[in-house]
Chains A and B, each alone.
Chain A
Amino acid sequence: MKTGIYPGCSLNGSARDYNESVFALAEAFGLKLEQVADWNCCGATAAHNLNKDLSLALPARILSLAEQNGMDEIIVPCAACYNRLTVTQNELKRDPELKNRISEVIEMSYNGTSQIINVIEWIDKYIIPELEGKVIKPFDRKVACYYGCLLVRPYKVLGYDRPEDPQSMDIVMSKIGATPVYYPFKTECCGAGFSMSRTDIVANLSGKIIEDAESRSAEAIIVACPMCHSNLDMRRDDINKYWNKKFEIPVIFITQAVGLALGLSAEKVGLKRHFVDVNVG
């Protein structure tokens, strides 16, 4: 079983901390993560908003490259990329004519054989089974596990966890000693790609997510998506201004939380790169 990783543009750029924590975890468990060679951007929201064929061609190139690399399985830590790659794989599987057309566009053969997994699935598969005895600093905090939209929806395509009140991240967190709180905003949208173009909407929606977490006495919000992290963390000043409040709850990637529980240092998991001070773990 050859496992590849598709980091995507965020992990390569402003979500560098996420990238660092993923590789730190992999290193701690002796897992090899080979990047999909010469990968391109999946197109994210912009592509499917403006151009359907493009939104399928860009992920198709990535999947073809992974196939060429002999990767049976690709980990996609970015939830948006995970969503786009899986949706593309699904669309091309359902419509052979479309598959042939896109194959022509990307000038590559495409079979759709690699299995696409998200970061929580990766943790469940490779890290949780080996966790016994390795948790040196239990993450003894109340946490609000925030899944966002694209990890669990559309359920018919992704088939992951469940779209209402998902529990996979909550379970991982409780395995490292945390107490997940009841959190009804765990799958509400944070404002997604409007970070620049409609910062007010992001401030509004992300603010609601943060307010609910704090009202449930959560001490940290755990995320598995760099976009959500950016909206909840980097945009904290905008959120505070919009709501005329001072929200202080830190936002931590799940890989960072697991890394901290294993005793890895804050720098190692990229915690120093956050905008909101992280005073837990």
Chain B
Amino acid sequence: MARIGVFVCHCGENISATVDCTKVAESIGKLKHVALSAEYKYMCSDPGQTLIKDAIREHNLTGVVVSACSPRMHEPTFRRACAEGGLNPFLCEMANLREHCSWVHEKNDLTTEKAIDIVRTQVEKVKLNHALQPIRVPVTKRALVIGGGIAGIQAALDIANTGHKVVMVERSPSIGGHMSQLSETFPTLDCSQCILTPRMVEVAQHPNITLYTYAEIESVEGFIGNFKVKVRKKAKSLDEKTCTGCGLCTTKCPQKKIPNEFEQGMGMRPAIYIPFPQAVPNKPVIDREHCTYYIKGKCKVCEIVCPTKAIRFDQPDEILDLDIGAIVIATGFDIKHADFFPEYGYGKYKDVIDGLQFERLASASGPTSGVIQRPSDGQVPKNIVFVACAGSRDPAKGIEYCSKICCMYTAKHAMLYKHKFHEGKAYIFYMDIRAGGKNYEEFVRRAIEEDHVDYVRGRISTIYEKNGKLIVKGADTLLGGQPVEISADMVVLATAGVANSGAEELAQKLHVSYDSHKFFAEAHPKLKPVETNTAGIFLAGACQNPKDIPDSVSQASGAAVKVAALFSQDELTREPLVAYVNRMAPPLYSTCVACGLCKPVCPYQAIESEEFKNREGKVIKKAAKINEGLCQGCGTCVAICRSKSIDLHGYSNNQVYAEVVALLNEY
């Protein structure tokens, strides 16, 4: 015998101003199986919840309907209250009288009628609810951090310091990311490597962190707390244990003219190389694409000179199988290069460079030892034109967004140039100045007031070469669009920040959403910046959107705490409102015939195949099985199952049918 308790909330005036709550409570009270029908001003408050708890005990309720706001608001609140009152929380339903009724209609009889209808359907539904227990899923307490830039490093250290194991996978030979390429960082003009390298070393030495560099993610299977990750360790072509990192091989390699990725093509490297002197791990790798031995079968100089005989030409790639509980994506970003701009020469002008290239020129450990000089002839430029918003905020070029960091680093670049070469003239062509961080505005003012950087508001129409100089055609919009032409020695484009190469492929491997610009998608733009829509996978840093170092570090720490929260329990509980495929006694086992229609339609890859074997071990039946850890209860499989073998806990076919019938019938 069902005994349902109905509680009609006034929600202050939110509901009662439009809906006659007293009438609703009275009408519902007359229904069959309704043991109690009460109303109160704020059901979610302490006295309101006490009302429910007391009623459960006094009236021996078998089900509760709280007619109030949206379940997205307070379903957990009322479920908890029921549990405390001694009723299984999944025997509690909410009737939405606010978002679905009082907030969208005028005050009149029809609105009250509708409110009564809504409550009636939930009463009929809850009669068919079953008591359910939360699903428990084990958790592997090992985190995977993909990407070894500053965000990845911060996340890894934070997680490792909570006592959990971390595996970090970085695809280039060293960790450090773009931050290791920077000369100085805004707004303090700290030497970038000086503040980064201690952290890099900490990662390498931390007992809880296992670092794989020159490695990539091969595949990811599984679900939150239970990921199965395959990592491909690309062959470095040497024995890391034997190699001492002396670097002799790199000096003897005859192939010296390979464009150096770390130097953004401003310098060269050999085929066996350490990306930069402060690399972690400080061991070389062989670039098989350019190494003479792999191309022609000759050379082997490195093997000959290596004092510890560490070279292993035949080393294969290694695939590692890892059990992972949570993943943090920290793969960073890339920038557009000069060749992206038709009006700036399609990349053919040597002295038109991008921001990262300028960083390498300015950097003390760069290809020019910190002397800013023209790539074309090695001369120190007497003036430099910096072009802000090169590609960003440019729908015609497909990049509508602002890349956030360029205003700041352009000011920084101009300042670095002026500090190194006082007589030089620096121009910055800008549209707006976005300097919203702490001490950022002051930094830009310093560039203008103390370092005499010339800011001109206007975009550059075109750049061309004449007599060894670059003719820059811009305009001063604060003077009515007056044309400004500058004969520049060098032009630095603050190019747009874009998703890193391989982001789309990685997102697809991880089943994580990404946007049209291939940046990874956060679960909620305001309130869930470090989570993705895929449970157990978190985001940190510029892979989500271009951002500066403080924001990357903050986000990384945020992601780390989410991981730690996940690992703080041995088991995860999940809401049991998932789909299930029916099971019954042999010989039928299930009405499911394993037609397989449900598997491809499941957006969460939550449907598996279960085999039933007889005593000899022969498979006598296959049936679909829902992975409770992955299922999100969307109901797509329920709809598509032709034999109606799948149903949804909490939203079963019968329950939905009961609601429809309740609406259609008079009461």
Q: Which residues of A contact B (CB under 8 A)?
A: 162-165, 182, 184, 212, 215
Contact = CB atoms under 8 A, between A and B. Distances in A.
B158 to A, nearest CB: 47
13 contacts: A162-B342, A163-B342, A164-B342, A164-B346, A165-B342, A165-B345, A165-B346, A182-B465, A184-B464, A184-B465, A184-B471, A212-B466, A215-B467
A217 B462 CA distance: 22
B321 interface: no
In this complex, the member of A163, A164, A182, A212 whose beta carbon has the largest number of chain B beta carbons within 10 angstroms is A164
Nearest to B463: A184
B343 interface: yes
A164 B343 contact: yes
Contacts of B464: 184
Contacts of A182: 465
Contacts of B345: 165
Nearest to A182: B465
A182 B466 CA distance: 10
A165 B341 CA distance: 11
Interface string B332-365: 0000000000110110000000000000000000
Nearest to B344: A164
B342 A215 contact: no
Nearest to A162: B342
Contacts of A212: 466
A249 to B, nearest CB: 17
Contacts of A184: 462, 464-466, 471
Contacts of B466: 184, 212, 215
Contacts of B465: 182, 184
Interface string B460-475: 0010111100010000
A162 B467 CA distance: 26
Contacts of B343: 164
A99 to B, nearest CB: 28
B76 to A, nearest CB: 53
Nearest to A187: B462
Given A162-B342, A164-B342, A215-B466, 13 more contacts: A163-B342, A164-B346, A165-B342, A165-B345, A165-B346, A182-B465, A184-B462, A184-B464, A184-B465, A184-B466, A184-B471, A212-B466, A215-B467
Contacts of A165: 342, 345-346
A184 B346 CA distance: 12
A184 B467 CA distance: 13
Nearest to A185: B464
Contacts of A163: 342
Contacts of B467: 215
A189 B208 CA distance: 66
Interface string B433-465: 000000000000000000000000000001011
Nearest to A188: B462
B396 to A, nearest CB: 10
A-B complex: 4 closest residue pairs judged by Cβ atoms: A184-B464, A164-B342, A164-B343, A165-B346
A157 to B, nearest CB: 15
Contacts of B462: 184
B517 to A, nearest CB: 22
B343 to A, nearest CB: 5
A212 B467 CA distance: 11
A212 B343 CA distance: 17
A164 B344 CA distance: 9
B519 to A, nearest CB: 28
Nearest to B467: A215
Contacts of B342: 162-165
In this complex, the member of A162, A165, A215 whose beta carbon has the largest number of chain B beta carbons within 10 angstroms is A165
Interface string B26-58: 000000000000000000000000000000000
B412 to A, nearest CB: 30
A212 B462 CA distance: 15
A212 B464 CA distance: 11
A163 B341 CA distance: 12
Contacts of B471: 184
A182 B349 CA distance: 12
Nearest to A184: B464
Contacts of B346: 164-165
A182 B342 CA distance: 14
Contacts of A162: 342
A182 to B, nearest CB: 7
Contacts of A215: 466-467
A215 B346 CA distance: 22
A160 to B, nearest CB: 15
Nearest to B343: A164
A183 to B, nearest CB: 9
A162 B341 CA distance: 13
A212 B466 CA distance: 9
A142 B349 CA distance: 21
A274 B376 CA distance: 41
A215 B467 CA distance: 9
Nearest to B346: A165
A163 B465 CA distance: 18
A41 to B, nearest CB: 33
A215 B471 CA distance: 14
A162 B342 CA distance: 9
A135 B345 CA distance: 32
A279 to B, nearest CB: 26
A94 B471 CA distance: 39
Contacts of A164: 342-343, 346
A191 B131 CA distance: 83
Nearest to B464: A184
A184 B473 CA distance: 12
A185 to B, nearest CB: 8
A51 to B, nearest CB: 28
A165 B349 CA distance: 13
